[in-house]
Amino acid sequence: MTQIQEVSLDEIRHLVSERAMTGETMLLNMGPQHPSTHGVLRLLLELDGETVVNCIPDIGFLHTGIEKNMESKTYQKAEVMTDRMDYMNTVGNNFTYCLAVEKLVGLDVPPRAQAIRVILAELTRIQSHLVWLGTAALDVAAMSVFLYCFREREQILDIMELVSGQRMMTTYIRPGGVWRDVPVEFEAAVRDFLKIIPKRIDEYEALLSKNPLFLDRCLGIGVISGEEAINRGLTGATLRASGPDYDLRKFAPYSGYEQYDFDVPTRTEGDVYARYLVRMEEMRQSIRIIEQAMAKLPLGPVRSNNYKFVPPPRSEIGTSMEALIHHFKLWTEGFNPPKGAVYAATESPRGELGCFLESDGGPKPYRVHFRTPSFDNLQVLPRLSQGHFVADLVAIIGSIDIVLGDIDR
């Protein structure tokens, strides 16, 4: 286990150019411990001077075996694992998994729970974009943006803590609804946040959008056309910066997204700067969605009352024998969905996050697979970085917004 495994040049001969064999170009290792690879990503770079000839990503340093581990737990218990997958989009992971489970067993979610889910998912999107903005700006040497972004992010985490008791790994969204109703302070906390955030986003744009140093690093770097982006499986802001307006919230609305009025920002340039602009605009659209959802947050239950699959409320357990039996059955044995396979997807801050879930009729999922956006988005990095400088490579990695937990699972 203490051996670092060596790869001979022959094994990767088909990935590098002829010139690497003669030693004309240099092979350089970048990562897994590197400040601007956003985690434990390893890149093998073939360099001609300062120019990237080839870039070979090596992933898996954070492969946690989440899919296999989920297969050994019941449907409810497995959900805890999904949080840890894409750790910038914890609510979104629960959301995707719950949509898949609900599709599998055919559960209906009450409207209040749907609205709460949307609010939290959009808050998570803003939170994730703030971290992306801070770190991506740090990569191109803008230090102060990082400190500002984390200041606002703390406020979102406080809201998460208010509703669920945890800052990041909330597991608040459960199959059939949400864990419990939001506390009374929730509305005021979200409104406070909505009051300050638009001004703050303008502030960040004032710091970066017309900053000549930032523009020099971003304009015309890592360009990809819309058609190629689709064929290479890009999703999210990385795709929308190249033209196609593919957003699952519009394409296949889930959880009541069709009720809200929002735009899908797109650009056509397809470079690092376009991706930056699209994400900044996405934050504004998320604010619009949260405002609408807060305005018409319906009253009512927050969990489905199908007690075959959803645990009954604690208050009923003391008085109802039936509720006690359901509770006992659900937490000891779990529930048995029908045999079959489903695919459910949500729009995560990085793109299409899908859950492929197969059941064999037992209480544990037979097969869980997550289609993660960063996995496909990173795949395009060799193509984007060819011919650019090493310093531009760092800007490109920042712009496609990878999360290593999302890639390796």
Q: How far is the CB of 103 from other proteins (least distance, A)?
A: 5
Dump the DSSP string for 156-221. Answer: HHHHHHHHHS-SS----EETTEESSPPPTHHHHHHHHHHHHHHHHHHHHHHHHTT-HHHHHHHTTS
Q: Which of 264, 215, 224, 183 is nearest to 380 (CA)?
A: 224
What is the rounded distance in angstroms from the CA atom of residue 92 to the CA atom of residue 348?
Answer: 6
Smallest distance from other proteins to CB 78, Å: 10
Minimum gap (Å) between residue 236 Cβ and other proteins: 13
Based on CB atoms, which residue is closest to other proteins, 25 or 128?
128
Min dist CB 189 to other proteins, Å, is 16
CB of 17 to other proteins, least distance (A): 15
Tell me the closest approach of the beta carbon of residue 325 to other proteins, in angstroms.
27
- Shorter beta-carbon distance to other proteins: residue 144 or 219: 144
- Nearest distance in Å: CB 358, other proteins: 6
Closest CA to 273 of 234, 219, 318: 219
Rg for the chain (alpha carbons), in Å? 23
Nearest-CA neighbor of 131 among 279, 334, 347, 262?
A: 279
75 vs 17, 79, 98, 216, CA distance in Å? Answer: 48, 7, 9, 49
For the bound state, the minimum distance from the C-beta of residue 354 to other proteins, rounded and expressed in Å, comes to 6
- Pick 63 or 191: Cβ nearer other proteins: 63
Q: How far is the CB of 40 from other proteins (least distance, A)?
A: 6
Q: Compare residues 300 and 340 and give the one whose CB is closer to other proteins.
A: 340
Nearer to other proteins, 232 or 329 (CB): 232
CB of 296 to other proteins, least distance (A): 27
Q: Is 141 left (phi over 0), alpha (psi -120 to 50) or beta?
A: left
Instruction: Give the closest residue to 300 by CA, choosing from 61, 71, 82, 116.
Output: 116
How many other C-beta atoms are found inside a 10 Å radius of the C-beta of residue 348? 29
Nearer to other proteins, 135 or 348 (CB): 135
Shorter beta-carbon distance to other proteins: residue 70 or 323: 70
Q: What is the largest CA-CA distance in the chain?
A: 80
Map tokens 């999360």 to a residue: 403
Report the candidate in 150, 179, 178, 154 with the shortest Cα–Cα distance to residue 167. 154
C-beta of 134: minimal distance to other proteins in Å?
8
CA distance 176 to 38: 35
- Sign of torsion over alpha carbons 288, 294, 298, 304: positive
Closest to 157 measured CA to CA, from 178, 195, 131 = 131
Dist CA 104 CA 97 (whole Å): 11
Pick the closest to residue 396 from 193, 187, 144, 136 (CA basis): 136
Q: Which is nearer to other proteins, 62 or 294 (CB)?
A: 62
Coil/strand/helix, residue 6? coil
- The angle at the Cα of 36, spanning 127 to 138, to the nearest 5 degrees, equals 55
